Structure 1
Amino acid sequence: MTETDTPPVTASLDTDPFAPDVLANPLPLQARLRDAGPVVYLESHGVHALARYEHVHAVLSDWQTFQSAAGVGLANFREEKPWRPPSLLLEADPPLHDAPRAVLSRVLGPRALRGLRQAWAEDARALVDQVLRDTEFDAVTALAQAFPLRVFPDAVGLEEEGRHHLLPYGDHAFNAFGPPNALVDKGAPHIAGHAEWVNGQCTRERLAPDGFGAAIWAAADRGDVTAEQAPLIVRSLLTAGVDTTVHALGALLYAFATHPEQWRRLRADPGLARVAFDEAVRWESPVQTFFRTTTRDVEIAGTTVPDGGKILTFLGAANRDPRRWDDPDSFDLTRDPSAHVGFGMGIHQCVGQHVARLEAESLLTALAERVEEIELAGAPRRHLNNTLRAWGSMPVRVRTV
């Protein structure tokens, strides 16, 4: 065998991507993974990892070979029972995935968002006016958490009482995609109470008649989905529609607090609000990782992953891959970030991403009208999660117009 005939050797690392220090700052590991090769074997969990944009994009786009139905976390649903009924969108593939996806795409479509635009703009201005009574505040609790929890539950049609369950429920759900570590253990004693409230909100009787939830039940009445599927589709909204938006807004606020020139650019051209949101999602990647499971023996860049093998895709690493992006570590509003994989790719791409964009546009526009300068007023603190990159606290100081 000549040297050119030698099969490639799969790189391996013994670093745990779910260790607290890595979750607090995943960028060094992401760079190591990208540099190590197109496929890296993670000894800590016995899975193959992909961190380069080309391969992450390809795997997320190929549901036939890399399935979601066996779980998008470390647990393999072929061998393990999930802790809750799997999501009909995130943890299902065609044909089971098709009807729920089609219904939710219509419910969250352009017509519904046009109806919300004015109300959300007014809600954003009211919140910003309230927050700006002080020139220093925590941008996470006062804005990134407060605005989605102000408008999204109303849009779904949830009861006022009990909405405090939403963030810890979603936090545990995303932690559970990782290994059974201390983060999962921390949420486990409380998840039954959170889940009981969330599941209760998914019933027809508990939902307001004019929200997203009622529209999903109306689709069940038409026969587009079954009555058994309807509450699970509503639950998908409540699982993935709050925490991810909160942390994307946190990423956006951090980006502007640390890049004053980009804030000035936005204020000069408020039409850049949506570009800013997508650039923040690319730059910080609130959803850092998702797993897929192979449906057959498959070769990726010279490495064979056996049927039933778990593959960990590093969305955050792909979104900063210098092979795809110029100056990837910079937050830059002159960039076109539209090809990022922060919302996934293919048929499992986030169905609610346009809702999140409208929330961000509403809040950012209101802030740009009132805030001339925004800067950190203290050291921000990370909130650790096995799947999400999040801020727990972000003290900021503003100068208003």
Structure 2
Amino acid sequence: MSTHGLTGTDVPTLDDDPFGHRILTDPYDFHARLRDAGPVVRLPRYGVYAMGRYEHVHASLQDWKTFVSSRGAGLTDFKREKPWRPPSLLLEADPPDHTVVRQAMGSVISPRTVRELKPVFRPKAEALADRLVERGAFDAVTDLAEVYPLQVFPDAVGLPQEGRDALLRYGALAFNAFGPHNDLLDAALATAGPVQQWIADSCRRESLAPGGFGARLWEAADRGEISHEQAPLLVRSLLSAGVDTTVYGITNMMYAFASHPEQWERLHRAPSRAKFAFDEALRFESPVQTFFRTTAYDTEVAGVPIPEGSKVLLFLGSANRDPRHWGEAGDRFDIAHRAAGHVAFGMGVHQCVGQPIARLEAELVLSALAERIRGIELDGVPRPKLNNTIKGWASIPVRVTPA
């Protein structure tokens, strides 16, 4: 592993493995030590710098000229190593190249198109909520979080009906690949071949239903807004950005409520607060915990010099609980908390382009449940799902009391 640029002796050092199972399962003690160690910390195990405080994570996410994405949003430096797939035109590119494709995607996922989806998505959220309430006990992951987004989002994209379960396996692969080559990436790669082929096939023009997001991206290529070579890569970006983060966001939200039943009671009394509750859940337990950037030139953060070509690991999940920004409430889940400004969806030009749809899905399914359920509690021991980049759960058994 390269240790390029890590020659300073005055930068605090932590020997922890942020991609080890213990920290991936429960990262919050490590986050506190990372923040307390300093604004910039060295992680010699991977030869990288790290930031965990809100102020510096937020600023670095916005400073795309210094902290570039085009050299990879993961540990691999595309200037020195070959990426495992063609780089994402959105996540792994910088302006001006990024600007062109971002505008094309923004015209497809616009406030108008999201409004048009609401009457389509709402009945499915309400029908699912009815079924779950009738059961009384269910798994908030496998019966809810992995069900609803895969019911509605692939239809909006216009994906083929067959094989949609590949979306979750592809997401696991894509997000594990941002980290080191460890056991988690090996497990994802073991089944990668058929998954990657299904994704590639599904991004072709002839595979996509007319009128969906995918077809509209191909139409943008016909108009010359993007190239025909870029169109399938942008459809692919939709698939990795529009499914897993939403699944994990709903998962973590339900875990937060099941662990804090008094907060559910407050939401039940005011279901219209669902969208604000989702934001607080994103802040409290961020689905995307980390992303890398690479320094484009020698720079300095809070007086700490960082040489050109250094990989910098930004801890979004840590920034979203930093008491220097959020006060003592940072470690508490409270739906009355003002969570605006959290970095769970990133920040700046690389902020998640699919977040309006994720917000719509979460708001609809959460408000439908809040209207029908008076109380919620854990009904067993939740089981974590480990991934190098995103934090979530494989199983959350819950029991609910109907309204």
Matches within 5 A, 1:200-279: 200-279=201-280
Contiguous gaps of at least 5 residues in structure 2: 1-7
* Cα separation, 2, equivalents of 1:179 and 1:8: 25
AA of the residue aligned to 1:201: S
What is the CA–CA distance in structure 1 between the aligned matches of 2:258 and 2:220, rounded to whole Å? 43
- Whole-angstrom CA distance in 2 between matches of 1:358 and 1:47: 36
1:263, distance to aligned residue in structure 2 (A): 1.2
Distance 1:156 1:25 in 2: 34
Q: Secondary structure at the match of 1:323?
A: helix
Show the counterpart of 1:351. Answer: 353
Tell me the equivalent position of 1:127: 128
User: Aligned to 1:386, what secondary structure does the other structure show?
Assistant: coil
SS in structure 2 of the partner of residue 253 of structure 1: helix
Aligned to 1:180: 181
- The residue correspondences of 1:99-114 to structure 2 (distance < 5 A) are 99-114=100-115
Q: Could you say what secondary structure the match of 1:391 adopts?
A: strand
1:8–1:46: structure 2 CA closer, same or farther, 3 Å change rule? closer
2:315 is equivalent to residue 314 of structure 1: yes
Q: Which amino acid aligns with 1:237?
A: L
The alignment's TM-score, normalised by the length of structure 1, stands at: 0.97
Structure 2 match to 1:297: 298
Deviations 1:35-69 (A, max 9, x none): 00011000110100000000001100000000000
For residue 145 of structure 1, what is the aligned residue in structure 2?
A: 146
Q: What's the % identity of the aligned pairs? A: 57
Corresponding residue number in structure 1 for 2:5: none
Match of 2:3 in 1: none
Deviation at 1:132, TM superposition (A): 2.6
Shift of 1:266: 1.4
User: What one-letter code is carried by the residue in structure 1 that aligns with 2:180?
Assistant: P
Contact 1:56 1:314 in 2 (8 A): yes
Shift of 1:10: 1.0
Cα-to-partner distance string for 1:202-222 (whole Å, 9 max, x where unaligned): 111000001111111111111
Deviation string, structure 1 residues 284-327 (Cα, Å, up to 9, x no partner) = 01000000000000111122111110000000000000000021
Deviates more, 1:252-261 or 1:197-206: 252-261
d(CA) in 2 for partners of 1:30, 1:193: 37
Deviation sequence 1:327-370 (CA, Å, 0-9, x none): 10111111111100111010000111110000001101110121
Kept in 2: contact 1:107–1:215 (CA 8 A):
yes
Match of 2:287? 286
Secondary structure in structure 2 of the residue aligned to 1:12:
coil
Q: Map 1:327-366 onto structure 2 (within 5 A).
A: 327-366=329-368
The answer to whether structure 1 residue 325 and structure 2 residue 326 are counterparts is yes
Match of 2:13? 12
Equivalent position amino acid for 1:356 in 2: A
**Who is 2:59 aligned against?**
58
Partner SS state of residue 173, structure 2:
helix
Deviations 1:102-143 (A, max 9, x none): 111121111111111012110001112222331111110111
User: 1:393 is matched with which residue?
Assistant: 395
Aligned match of 2:386 = 384
Cα deviations by residue, 1:173-206 (Å, 9 ceiling, x for unpaired): 1000000000011111211110100111111100
CA distance in 2, matches of 1:221, 1:356: 28
- Contact kept in structure 2, 1:8 and 1:303, CA below 8 Å: no
How far apart, in 1, do the equivalents of 2:338 and 2:10 lie?
Answer: 35
TM-score when scaled to structure 2?
0.97
Any idea what SS the aligned residue of 1:111 has?
A: helix
Query: Post-superposition shift, 1:169?
Result: 0.4
Q: How does 1:191-206 map to 2 (within 5 A)?
A: 191-206=192-207
In structure 1, the gaps of 5 or more residues are 1-6
Moved over 6 A (4+): none
Following superposition, the deviation at residue 8 of structure 1 comes to: 9.1
Number of the residue aligned with 2:371: 369
1:51/1:317 contact within 8 Å kept: yes
**Superposition RMSD in Å:** 1.1
